[in-house]
Amino acid sequence: MDRTQGRLSAAASASSGHPVLVHSFAQWREAARDLLAHHVPPQLMQWISHKNDGSLFAGAPPAQAADAAPPDGACALRVPRQLMDMLQSAACCRVPNRWAFLYLVLWRWQQGEKDVMSAADEDGARLHAMVKAVQREISGMHAAIRFRERREDAGPPRFVAWFEPGHDVLPQVARHFAARMGRVSWMIATPDASVMWDGERLHTTGPLMRGPQDIDDAGEAPWLTHYRSIFNPARLNADLLTSQVPTAAGKAQPGAVSSPTSLGQCRRCDLWQHATQAVGGEGPAQARIMLVGEQPGDQEDLRGKPFVGPAGQLLDRALHEAALDRRQVWITNAVKHFKWEPRGKRRLHKSPAQREIDACGYWLQRELAQVGPKVVVALGSTALKAVLDNPHATLKDMMGQPVAHGGRWVVTIYHPAYALRVPDAAARERAFHAMVEGLKQARELAQGPRP
């Protein structure tokens, strides 16, 4: 009989004196339900598990209040969500006999000993300590992981990291990075398992590397061969090449990338590959003032809205001081996708290249035509270049001096991120004040005629 599968097999194993083989939380949960339904006490149980082969991570659906389908004559088991969450988290803790301990906790809870969930109880305290150790490991890993960027022409994965977790936290860590690194491909390798992200899905396998030295053995390294066999990395490129983009004639044309009709599908440059989403402008359809920033930052990329992070908060303050209401202005960026590089757990802003500003000019021009503002406020150098469509425009030449351009006024102010970054408090204050003055100027110009 397969002792790893089937609801009845755990109890059957126990009754015949065999240990129950478990190597994932989902398997343990299944076995534990079966054993509880058959009233098998913890002291009669022996649990064994494989050394982790990556399958610990597979098939563990989110814990939820659990109903066990009972065998004939047995009662259904309901376990509170909080306990199931704690058990699932503690299952990642590398301590001897973890499955036996988790079963003991569950058994005691089912026997009516509800304080087994409390840190005042001896087993409860151990359970809490295991959960805490796992959580600490997860946040430590978010900060500690260092992705190494591979050559752009080397194909996916674009980034590779090696780490040696103290507990089985790879899935949680992988989900964290999957949520934050957009469509860029990466792999995280550990001694026990590897996780790969192809820009859309996570794939878990057994170990592929012996250590960090294998990252550099990039040419035809065994791990890369394996990666390719799983991913067919050409797929992403193929998707791009065959994307059906409507043409002016209304016919779909494979490979055409120059005239996407929706910003969400924009492939005019490569930045979309690394971003979570394109961030368009927002505001009243006929706003008289349009603010143009550089590009979405980390928070904007995640939330899909412009200027909602720290720079946005400073901008809100400046608008307020200039007697402007954010809800009256159109707010957008010169570049619509977040450009960044990994730095530990952070995505560090990277300035867009001129070719990216140029590529995104298409979207800015569309916004200008649609909204038709009387005044455009360029926040910082990238915005200025984009608004004037002049890669040589400089802040120094334009600051404090509105110019007429394309039938509207252009006012140039510091980018709020600059005003946040200035190390000297007095200079910071001056930068903020200059921003406010520029915004007041914009407000006044918006009340007068077009140039």
Query: Identity (one letter) of the amino acid at 14?
Result: A
Beta-bridged to residue 405, according to DSSP, are 408
Task: Give me the residue whose beta carbon is nearest to ligand URA.
Answer: 293
Phi, psi (rounded to 5 degrees) for 370:
-75, -45
Least Å from the CB of residue 327 to ligand URA: 16
# binding residues, ligand URA (CB under 6 A)? 13
Least Å from the CB of residue 157 to ligand URA: 28
Q: Residue 74, exposed/middle/buried by CB under 10 A (0-12, 13-18, 19+)? A: middle
Least Å from the CB of residue 421 to ligand URA: 12
Helix (H, G, I), strand (E, B) or coil at 48: strand
Q: Pick the closer one to ligand URA by CB: 30 or 300.
A: 300
Least Å from the CB of residue 356 to ligand URA: 13
Q: Pick the closer one to ligand URA by CB: 103 or 432.
A: 432
Least Å from the CB of residue 160 to ligand URA: 29
User: Cα-Cα-Cα-Cα dihedral of 292, 293, 295, 298, to 10°?
Assistant: -130
Nearest CA to 414 out of 298, 327, 311 is that of 311
Q: Pick the closer one to ligand URA by CB: 294 or 367.
A: 294
Least Å from the CB of residue 417 to ligand URA: 6
Q: Residue 43, exposed/middle/buried by CB under 10 A (0-12, 13-18, 19+)? A: exposed
Q: Pick the closer one to ligand URA by CB: 215 or 359.
A: 359
Q: Pick the closer one to ligand URA by CB: 132 or 326.
A: 326
Q: Pick the closer one to ligand URA by CB: 198 or 301.
A: 301
Least Å from the CB of residue 287 to ligand URA: 16
Helix (H) or strand (E) holding 79: strand 78-79
Considering only residues 22, 93, 131, 311, which one is a binding residue for ligand URA as defined by CB under 6 A?
Answer: 311
Least Å from the CB of residue 278 to ligand URA: 12
Q: Pick the closer one to ligand URA by CB: 46 or 351.
A: 351
Instruction: Check residue 175 and report its DSSP letter.
Output: H
Q: How many residues does the chain have?
A: 451
The two structure tokens encoding residue 40: 């098998």
User: From CA 161, how far away is CA 43, in angstroms rounded?
Assistant: 42
Least Å from the CB of residue 112 to ligand URA: 55
By CB under 6 A, what part of segment 264-303 binds ligand URA?
A: 293-297, 300
Q: Pick the closer one to ligand URA by CB: 168 or 300.
A: 300
360 is an interface residue for ligand URA by CB under 6 A: no
306 is an interface residue for ligand URA by CB under 6 A: yes
By CB under 6 A, what part of segment 407-426 binds ligand URA?
A: 417
Displacement of CA 247 from its chain's centroid (Å): 33
Q: Pick the closer one to ligand URA by CB: 25 or 272.
A: 272
Are 419 and 293 contacting, i.e. CB atoms less than 8 angstroms apart?
no
User: From CA 426, how far away is CA 430, in angstroms rounded?
Assistant: 6
156 is an interface residue for ligand URA by CB under 6 A: no
Tell me how many degrees the CA angle 70-71-76 measures, rounded to the nearest 5: 15
User: From CA 196, how far away is CA 74, in angstroms rounded?
Assistant: 42
Q: Pick the closer one to ligand URA by CB: 54 or 380.
A: 380
Considering only residues 307, 363, 418, 432, which one is a binding residue for ligand URA as defined by CB under 6 A?
Answer: 307
Least Å from the CB of residue 361 to ligand URA: 16
User: From CA 381, how far away is CA 394, in angstroms rounded?
Assistant: 6
By CB under 6 A, what part of segment 320-359 binds ligand URA?
A: 333
Nearest CA to 436 out of 340, 322, 359 is that of 322
The two structure tokens encoding residue 451: 């140039």
Provide the binding-site residues for ligand URA, judged by CB under 6 A: 293-297, 300, 306-307, 309, 311-312, 333, 417
